[in-house]
Amino acid sequence: MASLPRILIVDDSRVVRVTLIQHLKGHFDIREEVDGEAAWQALVLDHSIRAVISDLQMPKLNGFELLERVRASKLRRLQQLPFILVSGEESEEEREKARELGVSDFVAKGAGGTELLARLKNLLELSSAQEHLESGRQLLVQDPVSGLFTRKYLELQAAQALSHAARQGGDVSAMVLGFDGYVGLSERLGATVAEQVGQRFATMLVGKMRKEDSLGHFGDGQFAVVSPGTAPGFCAKFAERVREAVELARLTVAGETIALTVSIGVASVPTDLVGSAGALLELAGQRMSAAMAAGGNRTETGGILPAIRPITIHHALELLAADRSAPVLPHLPALARQLLPLLKLMSQELGLALPVAEIEHRLSERESRTQ
């Protein structure tokens, strides 16, 4: 029995514990506890426990509280420990709460041994893969100072996320970000300074990411983010927030203020029909290149969002305040159309002779030339 993986079963019902043990005996070494507090003490002291199967309603410490304590632990082995809740008559709100707290899976009361064994096996395989990735992480870090991963490591992270999504359902998204005109920036400022710019950008990006996401290098002046469990729409919105943040930023390097923009490509499974983690990242990279070729400073998502999104007047004023008029120019006709009613009112109320009709005429001419 010592060679079998140890599983902790927590339930105040002896009948339920016996039933679960019958399903798992011969495959796992079982430890039993009757309440959440006793289970917590066991988890802290018994390092051999590989997974937890817990009831929700228990004395002293219920399933929610035990799960929350496990995920908030300073012990990394507990933070990542597979945790299954035995599902009964709880509401959808309670199930959502468990997901937010970090539950690994649910098993219905009365589930057969085959289903329970399959779920445990999948979770333990995923946990083992995570441990192997973590143990080799330092070998795959490209820059020990920045902590950014290599492209190969990102592919491993994406492959792991895709494997989990294939079993449990859900999305896996990736985005690739690249500085527009990075080659020219390197030639003008030197490769070392250009890398420093990239490092400052990466630091900003880390502050906006979830802990589940992985950030790494993709190419010169290019970065990639792998986001498990993230739908393409949410990834696209995040990409736009990043793009706008870079667009507004004032970056001073070697005494020179630099205006930067990024182009971003987003890809997602199962929305995009790709067969591997490498293909997912490659598709995001191709969309980034397409965004650059179309003029840069845009997000390309394969149809989830338009390549160029209209900007608000507020955002345009922020750009102008940052002395960044170039990103505003493509949107000038649309912004002017929004402001025309205000200009007409100002002209009437203040007795001004604003050339509103001339502005409308010029806008119409410009729009007809671009059609």
Cβ atoms within 10 Å, residue 232? 24
Residue whose structure tokens are 């990102």: 154
Give CA 310 to chain center in angstroms: 24
Counting beta carbons within 10 angstroms of the beta carbon of residue 308, is it exposed (0 to 12), middle (13 to 18) or buried (19 or more)? middle
For the domain spanning 140-309, the CATH number is: 3.30.70.270
pLDDT: which is higher, 176 or 2: 176
52-71 pLDDT per residue, tens? 999 888 888 898 999 999 99
State the DSSP H helix or E strand holding residue 229, giving kind and residue range, or none if neither: none
Residue whose structure tokens are 């990735």: 133
Report d(CA 165, CA 84) in Å as an integer: 17
Task: Judge whether residue 351 has pLDDT over 70.
Answer: yes
> Which one-letter DSSP state was computed for residue 302?
S
What's the mean pLDDT when you consider all of the chain? 84
- Candidates 283, 275, 169, 306; CA nearest to 226 is 283
Task: Judge whether residue 304 has pLDDT over 70.
Answer: yes
Query: DSSP alpha helices (H): ranges in the chain?
Result: 14-24, 36-45, 63-71, 76-79, 92-101, 113-135, 137-140, 151-168, 182-189, 191-206, 232-248, 277-293, 313-321, 332-349, 356-370
pTM beyond cutoff 0.85: no
Q: What percent of the chain has pLDDT above 70?
A: 91
Report d(CA 96, CA 224) in Å as an integer: 29
Cβ burial 25-57 (10 Å sphere, 16+ → b, else e): eeebbbbbbbbbbbbbebbeeeeebbbbbbbbe
Report d(CA 152, CA 278) in Å as an integer: 9
Stretch 312-319: mean pLDDT: 82
Confidence (pLDDT) at 172: 92
Give CA 216 to chain center in angstroms: 13
Stretch 153-180: mean pLDDT: 89
3 state DSSP class of 134:
helix
233-244 pLDDT per residue, tens? 889 988 988 898
For the domain spanning 6-135, the CATH number is: 3.40.50.2300
Report d(CA 347, CA 343) in Å as an integer: 6
Domain range list for the chain: 6-135, 140-309, 331-370
Of the spans 129-133, 206-210, 218-222, 255-259, which averages the highest pLDDT?
A: 218-222
261-291 pLDDT per residue, tens? 999 999 999 999 888 999 999 999 999 999 9
Task: Judge whether residue 369 has pLDDT over 80.
Answer: no
Lowest mean pLDDT among 205-209, 218-222, 307-311: 307-311
Strand order in the sheet with 222-228: 141-143, 148-149, 214-219, 222-228, 172-179, 262-269, 299-300
Residue whose structure tokens are 């289903």: 115
Q: Give the length of the chain.
A: 371
175 falls in which pLDDT band (50, 70, 90)?
very high
Query: Cβ(264)–Cβ(242) under 8 Å?
Result: yes
Confidence (pLDDT) at 309: 59
Confidence (pLDDT) at 147: 67
Stretch 215-234: mean pLDDT: 90
